């Protein structure tokens, strides 16, 4: 099914809700290690496509291949098991917790002291710092409270946590919404560094077209549930992207 250099390939994905066609014959492929921008106006089908890739809903028909394997995901946990991780627009973090606590949320590390097991706080703090520094993130203190971070730093924390499972595909849903310009620049640099360091393929949804155009290797534009552009972002100006969207 898949081209030899592809990590992800979709063929003829359809999804309808009653009489409304949300996705109509969606087909594309993503090369290993590439970043793809997914754009479209409200109602274009972006959210439905992400939900299908994340296993939240199933397509009515069509095939999804990931790294040479045909997937039939029925839940986000099955998507994670297949190698797909997702970070949402509003990341699932505990604002009253510390950075290191959020980084290890649900996978806390402990050390044995005889018959007793104790949380390895020092180890988790050191590991959180190490992972953040790997992606040149030095502004986030592992001992800081999450509620003291800005919007971009919270997104970086959530994405760094998502990449810890070594996914084959990382889905980023609007990571730059409702954050300051400087924070957007920090998230952009972080995503680029993460991609370079890990080689993880990424699909990113964003309305920040200028930022997206300069970040991604490939651009997929949806309109009315169909693909209207699938190609190199360098071939388009932002005005061209908007015209395709409309």
> Could you tell me the residue ranges of all domains in the chain?
6-93+166-245
Tokens of 128: 């959180």
pTM of the model: 0.91
Token pair listed for 170: 């990382």
User: Pairing mode, if any, of strands 69-71 and 20-31?
Assistant: unpaired
Closest C-alpha to 202, from 181, 175, 183, 223: 175
Mention every residue, 6+ apart, whose C-beta is less than 8 A from residue 178.
Answer: 151
pLDDT tens digits, 37-61: 999 999 999 999 999 999 999 999 9
Q: According to the model, what pLDDT value does residue 178 have? A: 80
- Rounded CA gap, 207 and 227, in Å? 17
**Segments of the chain with pLDDT less than 70:** 1-4, 112-115
The torsion angles phi and psi of 219, rounded to 5 degrees, stand at -125, 130
The span from the CA of 27 to the CA of 16, in Å, is 16
- For residue 211, which of 232, 245, 187 has the smallest C-alpha distance? 187
CA–CA gap between residue 199 and residue 87 (Å, rounded): 17
Residue 221: the pLDDT is: 98
The CATH code belonging to domain 6-93+166-245 is 3.40.50.300
Helix and strand totals (H; E) in the chain? 8, 12
Radius of gyration of the chain (CA): 19
Res 41: pLDDT: 94
Report the pLDDT value the prediction gives residue 120, as an integer from 0 to 100. 86
């Amino acid at each position: 099914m898949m081209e030899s250099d592809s990590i992800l390939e979709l063929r003829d994905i359809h999804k309808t809700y009653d009489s409304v066609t949300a996705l109509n014959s969606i087909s594309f492929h993503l090369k290993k290690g590439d970043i793809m921008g997914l754009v479209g106006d409200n109602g274009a089908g972006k959210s439905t496509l992400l939900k299908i890739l994340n296993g939240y809903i199933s397509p009515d028909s069509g095939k999804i291949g990931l790294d040479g394997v045909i997937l039939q995901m029925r839940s986000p946990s099955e998507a994670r098991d297949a190698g797909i991780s997702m970070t949402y627009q509003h990341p699932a973090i505990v604002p009253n917790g510390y950075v290191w606590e959020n980084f290890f949320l649900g996978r806390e590390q402990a050390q044995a002291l005889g018959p007793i097991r104790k949380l390895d706080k020092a180890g988790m703090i050191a590991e959180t710092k190490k992972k953040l520094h790997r992606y040149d993130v030095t502004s986030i203190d592992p001992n800081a409270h999450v509620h003291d971070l800005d919007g971009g730093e919270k997104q970086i924390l959530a994405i760094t946590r998502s990449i810890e499972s070594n996914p084959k595909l990382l889905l980023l849903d609007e990571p730059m919404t409702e954050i300051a310009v400087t924070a957007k620049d920090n998230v952009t640099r972080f995503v680029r560094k993460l991609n370079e360091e890990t080689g993880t393929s990424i699909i990113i949804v964003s309305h920040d077209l200028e930022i997206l155009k300069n970040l991604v290797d490939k651009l997929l534009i949806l309109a009315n549930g169909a693909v209207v552009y699938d190609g190199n972002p360098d071939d388009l100006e932002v005005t061209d992207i908007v015209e395709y969207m409309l």
